[in-house]
Amino acid sequence: MKRPVIGPWITIILGAIYFLVPLVATFEFSLRMKRGEYSFEAYRVVFGDPNFQASFTYSALIAVAAIIVGVLIVVPTAYIVQLKLPRLRPLVEFITLLPLVIPAIVLVFGYIRMYNSSSWIPLTNSARGTDFLLTCAYVTLALPYMYRAVDTGLRAIDIRTLTEAAQSLGSSWPRILFQVILPNVRVAVLSGAFLTFAIVIGEFTMASLLNRPAFGPYLQLVGANRAYEPAALAIIAFIITWACMGLIQLFGGGRRNDTRR
């Protein structure tokens, strides 16, 4: 007979308490908007708030834009590095890690300096220009995750032989990239995309300093001025993030086994 091991269980329980108690407390608090009874009143108010809808839509759109731009940059880069320039890999990996090292605030001040209204490229002059800048900022922010996901995905397939097979069938580079490589790293790209989405939805610093009506600043605004709604928002944001994680699991875990050795 094995003696039950209690050490690890204690750790797990302590950890669960550490994570779950605030969550449960927040949730419980978010239900108490109506005096004396539990209700989803706070959620109703939040969902009914036009600013919630507008800011969430705005952030979602920027996230989608960031995902598209990110994929268009990262997939060809990772592909070329793996296929043609394997010696550059450490350098590229280092560059893609930089956003984790450089604080967002430094990045955004850099942007504002570079692209302010009196600069060569006055992007911050117009709302569209600033949206573009924000998109680029989010692409940068999500780069470490996107690159790693795609790189791992590419490593799982034999890109060299697939590329050569397509080439010998007369295929051009764009066709190889979009019809052969991209569909085969779809899962990796999706997990990178959901991570990007999760990051962008909650991001505050950049959106706030670039003064765009994003979800992050809205959360902060509500949080500073209301009591029950921030709790409801926190729970909503939490659910969105976990839904993204769940989708990554769904797409990543449900993948069939690769038959190639």
Partner 1 sequence: MAFLTLEKITKTFGNQTTIHGIDLAVERGEFVSFLGPSGCGKTTTLRMIAGFETPTSGTIKIDGKDVTDLRPNQRNIGMVFQAYALFPNMTVADNIAFGLKVAKKSSAEIAARVKEMLALIKLPDVGNRFPYQLSGGQQQRVALARALAIQPKILLLDEPLSALDAKIRIALRDEIRAVQRSLGITTIYVTHDQEEALSMSDRICVMNEGRIEQLGTPFEIYNNPKTRFVATFVGTLNVLNGTMVDTATGRIAIDGQEVVATRGANGASTGDSLAVALRPEALSIGETEPGRNGLKGVIEEVHFLGPVVRIRVRFGDNVVSLDTFNRPHSAPPVRGEPVNVHFGHEDLLVLDRPAI
Of 169, 239, 243, 250, the one binding partner 1 (CB under 8 A) is 169
Is residue 93 at the binding interface for partner 1, with CB under 8 A as the rule? no
Q: Which residues between 219 and 258 bind partner 1 (CB under 8 A)?
A: 256-258
For residue 115, CA distances in Å to 66, 205, 224, 237 come to: 19, 17, 30, 31
Minimum CB distance to partner 1, residue 165 (Å): 4
Comparison of 85 and 169: residue with beta carbon closer to partner 1: 169
Is residue 162 at the binding interface for partner 1, with CB under 8 A as the rule? yes
Comparison of 45 and 80: residue with beta carbon closer to partner 1: 80
Q: Which stretch binds partner 1 (CB under 8 A): 11-19, 69-77, 157-165, 227-235?
A: 157-165
Minimum CB distance to partner 1, residue 74 (Å): 19
Instruction: Tell me if 40 sits within 8 A of 229, measured CB to CB.
Output: no
105, HSE (Cβ side, Cα atoms, 13 Å): 0
Residues 6+ apart with CB under 8 A from 150: 71, 74, 75, 78, 185, 188, 189, 192
Of 17, 21, 109, 164, the one binding partner 1 (CB under 8 A) is 164
Is residue 172 at the binding interface for partner 1, with CB under 8 A as the rule? yes
Dihedral sign of CA atoms 128, 133, 136, 140 in order:
negative
What is the per-residue DSSP string for 183-232? HHTHHHHHHHHHHHHHHHHH--HHHHHTT---HHHHHHHHHHH-SHHHHH
Is residue 166 at the binding interface for partner 1, with CB under 8 A as the rule? yes
Instruction: Tell me if 159 sits within 8 A of 82, measured CB to CB.
Output: yes
Is residue 75 at the binding interface for partner 1, with CB under 8 A as the rule? no
Q: Which stretch binds partner 1 (CB under 8 A): 35-43, 121-129, 137-145, 180-188?
A: 180-188
Is residue 180 at the binding interface for partner 1, with CB under 8 A as the rule? yes
Residues at the site binding partner 1, with contacts judged by CB under 8 A: 157-158, 161-162, 164-172, 175, 179-180, 183-184, 186, 256-261
